[in-house]
Chain A
């Protein structure tokens, strides 16, 4: 049965770099990507005929190089294909949505590059229409070439909020304000640590200039407390460090508390030369360090796979770059450390949206004397049980469980999610029908 050497899952910078490098190292490579275009979150491509949102020359140059390398590499790309998992016989399963069937295919190695997701904290109203992640607004802007309509409030933590605000300003609809729990401008801090990655510093200055130029207030040391329905849209309440409250009436709210790996439900890493298949992760789904690091990590993953498959050792400059970017991320984390304590969140607040479970439901569930495990909270309380696989609630649930039970061992997100495939809901009928093994190489 013919099979490919490497199957790459995800066509963002990590997956693309992995595919290009693996094929340069002489391996046969196939890629599956759930969208109809490459680029991932950072390089989300504009649809045909629209003017792309303004980007720095260096970002454009990186995309040109990556996409040119990709189009030259003999990599077969299967678009509209959603990775589901690796079955007990070692076959990769994915749903080919263009054909409407689940495909079972063989690969000697799988490089998983499914990227990151944004962290969002539960606050009243986070589940209302008009409220999304800030990155969600940003990728839609990249796709359509247009700013989201109406009055927008961005709130949460970290540099992505500034980037999104700057891009909105550049396409003509700056947000009404950015609410930031950290305070990177506070005295005694310097961003000089970022000199390890001058690229990030230049980027940050560019974005800040655009934000200030558009007169967008950057409310530092502040948090969003809740979002309510209002006759003219949504009303968001913002609390400052000194306890002062203010209200914003807007059409949209973009929330963002940083990123974490999109690794829920992924098959376990198997990186021995005897593993069948070899499974490794690359880019933000392995360590959330951003697009530049993702690209380097993708190439590194390909080198690792090539060595494991007996195609020889090779070295690039990726390790050193990753080291510098890791340091830069640590500096950013320090710069953006929250300067305002978390706010109390009322019991009626939705914690797990898929299953409609609230903070109060969790409190009731863990109130008893018996110390429930993450698994029990999932199975008895249906937290993290729904179709998103706990991507957006498992960490919040784990954190709240830990806080509610001082003295008990801390709970982490993976206690709730476990390792479970398929990655996405798929009908049992389609899975059963997938007995047909399609060789990915023609």
Chain B
């Protein structure tokens, strides 16, 4: 088992190899992934890439946190209302 980490809003979050960004954030107790374009918060919901409720910015690209494997050193950030639409 690895002790790698990525950065969520600048803060290191440990993850296990193969784990999705959403699973690692949830394990770290982070349930809200920041404001969504529609007003409410972004967060894990369907778990299968369908609802687009878990969008975050990973190294600059908008990605579903539930689909994207965590990657060592990645910069993961809230969408930010202005960039929320691809």
A residues with a Cβ closer than 8 A to B are 34-37, 41, 47-50, 82, 97, 100, 115, 117-118, 127-133, 135-140, 143-144, 146, 148-149, 262, 350, 352-357, 386-388, 391-392, 424-427
In the complex where A356-B39, A387-B85, A425-B86 touch, is A48 in contact with B18 (Cβ < 8 A)? yes
A427 to B47, Cβ gap below 8 A?
no
A139 to B40, Cβ gap below 8 A?
no
B16 to A50, Cβ gap below 8 A?
yes
Mostly helix, strand, loop or mixed at chain A's interface?
A: loop
Residues from chain B with a CB closer than 8 A to the CB of A146 are: 27
> Does B49 sit at the interface, judged by CB under 8 A?
yes
CA distance A353 to B16 in the complex (A): 31
Q: Offer 14 A-B interface pairs, CB within 8 angstroms, sorted by A.
A: A34-B67, A35-B49, A47-B19, A117-B46, A117-B48, A135-B48, A136-B46, A136-B66, A140-B22, A140-B26, A144-B19, A353-B38, A424-B49, A425-B85
* Contact pick for A426, options B43, B55, B86, CB 8 Å: B86
B residues with a Cβ closer than 8 A to A are 1, 16-20, 22-23, 26-27, 29, 31-33, 36-41, 43-53, 55, 61-63, 66-69, 85-86
A386 to B38, Cβ gap below 8 A?
yes
**A350: nearest chain-B partner, CB-CB:** B40
Minimal beta-carbon separation of B16 from chain A (angstroms)? 6
CA distance A10 to B6 in the complex (A): 28
A135 to B50, Cβ gap below 8 A?
no
A353 to B53, Cβ gap below 8 A?
yes
* Contact pick for B52, options A128, A130, A387, CB 8 Å: A387
CA distance A165 to B43 in the complex (A): 22
A49 to B51, Cβ gap below 8 A?
no
In the complex where A129-B31, A425-B85 touch, is A136 in contact with B44 (Cβ < 8 A)? yes
Residues from chain B with a CB closer than 8 A to the CB of A427 are: 86
B86 to A391, Cβ gap below 8 A?
no
B41 to A133, Cβ gap below 8 A?
no
**A393: nearest chain-B partner, CB-CB:** B51
A34 to B32, Cβ gap below 8 A?
no
CA distance A50 to B2 in the complex (A): 12
**A37: nearest chain-B partner, CB-CB:** B18
Minimal beta-carbon separation of A250 from chain B (angstroms)? 12
Residues from chain B with a CB closer than 8 A to the CB of A135 are: 46-48
In the complex where A34-B67, A386-B38, A425-B52 touch, is A48 in contact with B23 (Cβ < 8 A)? no
CA distance A388 to B69 in the complex (A): 20
Residues from chain A with a CB closer than 8 A to the CB of B53 are: 127, 353, 388
* Contact pick for B45, options A36, A136, A262, A352, CB 8 Å: A136
**A45: nearest chain-B partner, CB-CB:** B18
In the complex where A143-B19, A143-B20, A353-B38 touch, is A391 in contact with B47 (Cβ < 8 A)? no
A36 to B18, Cβ gap below 8 A?
yes
B46 to A132, Cβ gap below 8 A?
yes
